[in-house]
Amino acid sequence: RLELLLGRLRAAGAEGLTRSAAFMAAPGEKSGGGLAAKIAEVQSFTKRLKEQIAEIKRQKQGSCLSSAAEKGANGKPLAELPLNDLRNPTDGSCLRVRKRLQGHFGKVYAMHWAADSKHLVSASQDGKLIIWDGITQRKEQAIPLRSSWVMTCAFDQQQGEWVACGGLDNICSIYKINQQSVLRASKELSQHDGYLSCCRFVGNNEMLTASGDARCIHWDIETATPTLFFSEHACDCMSVAISPTNPNMFASGSVDASAKVWDLRTGKSTHTFDKYHSSDINSVAFFPEGYSVGTGSDDSSCRLFDIRCYGEVANFAADHISCGITSVGFSKSGRLLFAGYDDYVCHAWDTSSDQQPKYKLQSHENRVSCLGVTPNGHAVCTGSWDTLLKIWA
């Protein structure tokens, strides 16, 4: 359609030049007023075509998650990946629920995708960790927890053989899956003095945890011992995110309204962003290129901080949004920032324009407590206090 309009625009310009030349060749046949009218007509027609072209370009810029994820930095399609059933159809429709994962009997508090973009783990206050097949919606494994007050979970991103969780028991419990029955944790990491708010695997044999004791701890899983303590936050540390491009860096968000970027080799923070949010930071996520950090806060705003310029580059907020944000995550291309809200909605913001949310993912019947984008970028999963997980694409 765009090519057709461009062709019409060029044809209109050529027609206008032809008519002008014909008039100049026979000046006695038409009056000066007739020439002015013809010029005005051509200009009006050209303006209408340009407006139509601009509108088509705006529509194409609002592409859905899957189409954005399928294009690399050079604009060429990425290699075909396994989650074909979750990809957006070619009719150009926007994000909608493709899969509905029903099996928990309590509030879903956390979820995390495996590296294969097919499996995911969810944690609920029914006292269960469930391993799901995101395509078939099948529950592959249910792990009973020692404490039902779970707040976080994580999937091993290297081998896909381990999951971890923690909560009000102050312990990070690690389970080996792909067994017939999993009844006990293979490892328990116990050093925190407060609840465990977030945990993430680092490589094959390391773990990073955040806690209500205002500390983050880096662990050696094999020996179940801490290797580094990160203690610069003033209040509860609520979230951690590993850099996608540098495994020696991670970000954290805290109730003290600050976000920090840390170096795992030194145990010290390299960047602190503490003059922007006015309330608790509940979630942090790295931008795919690894140089920026996104945050979600109880002050109803998401913000994007750039490490290179040491400052805020975007503030995602709207007058009609007044509730807190529980979780954030970026699309694979970084074009969209997903944020889960207390008012049962997940908004997708266009990171190139912070004026209004690009998409509104509204299907849950209670608070959206967690979300995650698949590593291949084809889908996003939301978890809610309504006991359901939903996969959108």
At 181 the pLDDT is: 78
352 by DSSP, 3-state: which? coil
pLDDT bin (cut points 50, 70, 90) of residue 348 is very high
Query: Would you say 131 and 121 are in contact if contact means Cβ atoms under 8 Å apart?
Result: yes
**Model confidence pLDDT, tens digit, residues 300-326:** 999 999 999 999 999 999 989 999 999
Which range has the top average pLDDT, 61-70, 120-129, 349-358? Answer: 120-129
Where residue 41 falls among pLDDT bands split at 50, 70, 90?
confident
Query: What pLDDT score was predicted for residue 71?
Result: 46
pLDDT (0 to 100) of residue 306: 94
pTM greater than 0.85: no
Which pair of structure tokens corresponds to residue 355? 């004026």
Distance CA 242, CA 25 (A): 72
pLDDT at 260 > cutoff 70:
yes
Question: With 60 as the cut, is the pLDDT of residue 86 above it?
Answer: no
Pick the residue with more confidence: 356 or 346? 346
What's residue 115's pLDDT? 93
Q: Which pLDDT score is estimated for 87?
A: 39
Return the pLDDT at 268.
Answer: 92
| Residue 176 to residue 17: CA distance in whole angstroms | 75
Identify the three-state secondary structure at position 381. strand
Note the pLDDT of residue 40.
Answer: 87
C-alpha dihedral over 70, 72, 78, 84, to 10 degrees? -20
Which position has the higher pLDDT, 350 or 19?
A: 350
CA distance 132 to 120: 5
What 8-state DSSP symbol labels residue 89? P
- Supply the pLDDT for residue 53: 81
3-state helix, strand, coil in the chain (%, to 5): 15, 40, 40
Q: Note the pLDDT of residue 376.
A: 93
Q: Which residue has the higher pLDDT, 18 or 91?
A: 18
Q: Answer whether residue 54 shows pLDDT above 80.
A: no
- Whether residue 381 contacts residue 121, with contact meaning beta carbons closer than 8 Å, is answered with no
- Average pLDDT (53-58) is 74
Answer for the pair 305, 313: CB distance below 8 angstroms, yes or no: yes
Q: How far apart are CA 63 and CA 59, in angstroms?
A: 7
